[in-house]
Homo-oligomer: A and B are copies of this chain.
Amino acid sequence: MIVCKFGGTSVATADQIRKVVDIVTSDSNRKIVVVSAPGKRFSDDTKVTDLLIQLANKALANEDTEQALSAVVDRFRGISEELGLDGAIIEEIETDLRDRLAKDKVDTLLYMDRLKAAGEDNNAKMIAAYFQLLGMESHYVSPKEGGLLVSDRPERVRALPEGDERLAKLRDLPGIIVFPGFFGYTNDGTIRTFNRGGSDITGSIIAAATGAELYENFTDVDSVFAANPTVIENPVAIEKMTYREMRELAYAGFSVFHDEALIPAFLKSIPVCIKNTNNPSAPGTLIVKERDYNEQQVIGIAADSGFTTIYVDKYLMNLEIGFGRRLLQIFEEEEISYEHTPSGIDNLSIIIRTRYLPEEKEKKIVARIHQELEPDAVIVEHDYSMIVLVGEGMQYTTGLAARAASAIARTGCNIEMINQGSSEVSLVFGVKKNDETKILKELYKEFFVQSTVQL
């Protein structure tokens, strides 16, 4: 049995939904279909979820909501009419939206969540109706009924394993199950959404709970590439990689698949396949637990700019038990999460994503370090990029670090930081932002262009 999830662009128009139906019906193993809300039809278009946020904001500001409501209903109407559905589904969607709008506004987060979830929820109903129109048995199942239970923290919603037993029964329902992505219910029946892109998470939870043979994630790209196509012309496609490799690439800016969505699949070892709705015959990228790393030691190269380093130097630092812990505690108390903490003998650098470090926080943290730790020096550097070389072969292959460092040396750029730990699948280089593209190109040449020529 296959769980397949279709993202926003895959369900943005009637034509796209017809492709979804073709894909689902072409393989009888495709049993559970998780859908996003209709996304963009063209680059300047507005996603239904964003229309719903505008609608909720108007309602919360007690402004007139009719126009904003029509914008949402019209998107669904356009699709449903083109699919040949009768007016009943649009009436049902409009009634549902008016119900949500009429709810109490005291808990604004809850009010917002309830409206945001309407995009996926109503889209799932509409797509189930379309399968039925085509003469297939198909059922919309709501997350409440299906058992998608989530934790009670509005800002950090996580799926609860208690729901798994009920979700597992989706497998036994007759026909094609259409399930809305993006939201679930707490134990007391309160609706909560995951963060943006959360439909990926819904699909992964269901695939894990039902013990699916495969979780297919349909997007609008043929595969995950070995490097960013906006920097490297025609990068090679990744055919197969491990969860860990995907995670490392995602960390450094590969945004094909939601970070958290990998967890449920990873925990139950469900293979994940990234595929293209617009080109379903392309093999896509398969994400699995293990692969033969001898075939391809390095799987991809990612780069992400926008890091800041805070370098702290104190003579005989490493004789002070607790120095590192106290330094990290300052960051924790200021609620700043950090990425890496490479250390020398008397120094420690904290590497942070600049967007998580507002200027006043930076000043406060530097002041606290001076006051509480009495270092010899604190140096802050902005415009730092991290280049991550990813591959399961990394830890077993002699000389990969040398090849990477030599490739960087050929560019004439300086390596500011190197980080490689034991048992790792990545090698991280800190470089100046200005050098990022040049280095990325040379590394790609070293690990992808040369090897295809030589082998």
Contacts and interface: CB of A to CB of B under 8 A. Distances in A.
Interface in A326-349: 328-329, 331-332, 335, 337-349
A343 B412 CA distance: 26
Interface string A7-37: 0000000000000000000000000000000
A259 B399 CA distance: 35
A414 interface: yes
Contacts of A416: 422
A103 interface: no
A401 B412 contact: no
Contacts of A413: 398
A247 B315 contact: yes
A136 interface: no
A423 interface: yes
A372 interface: no
Contact of A346 (B247, B340, B381): B247
Interface string A394-425: 01101101111110110011111111111111
Contacts of A319: 259, 337
B263 A315 contact: yes
Contacts of A266: 315
B417 A420 contact: yes
A430 B349 CA distance: 19
A414 to B, nearest CB: 5
A379 interface: yes
A324 B315 contact: no
Nearest to A340: B343
Task: State the number of copies, please.
Answer: 2
Contact of A347 (B346, B406, B418, B421): B421
A309 interface: yes
Contact of A420 (B329, B342, B381): B342
Contacts of A408: 402
Contact of A251 (B318, B321, B329, B412): B318
Contacts of A335: 321
Contacts of A345: 247-248, 251, 339, 388, 426
A402 B417 CA distance: 13
A325 interface: yes
A216 interface: no
Contacts of A349: 421-422
Interface string A431-446: 0000000000000000
Nearest to A390: B345
A249 to B, nearest CB: 10
Contact of A421 (B247, B311, B388, B412): B311
A56 interface: no
A415 B428 contact: no
A343 to B, nearest CB: 5
A153 to B, nearest CB: 14
Contacts of A414: 395-396, 398
Between A259, A319, A409, A428, the greatest number of chain B beta carbons within 10 A of the residue's beta carbon is seen for A409
A84 interface: no
Q: What 3 A-B pairs come out closest when comparing CB atoms?
A: A399-B409, A402-B405, A325-B328
13 contacts: A313-B423, A321-B332, A322-B332, A339-B345, A342-B420, A344-B419, A347-B423, A348-B421, A379-B422, A399-B405, A399-B406, A417-B421, A418-B419
Interface of A: 244, 247-248, 251, 259-260, 262-263, 266, 309, 311, 313, 315-316, 318-319, 321-322, 324-325, 328-329, 331-332, 335, 337-349, 379, 381, 388, 395-396, 398-399, 401-406, 408-409, 412-428, 430
Given A340-B343, A343-B421, A418-B418, 13 more contacts: A247-B345, A309-B422, A324-B338, A344-B421, A344-B426, A347-B423, A381-B422, A398-B409, A398-B415, A399-B405, A402-B409, A406-B406, A417-B421
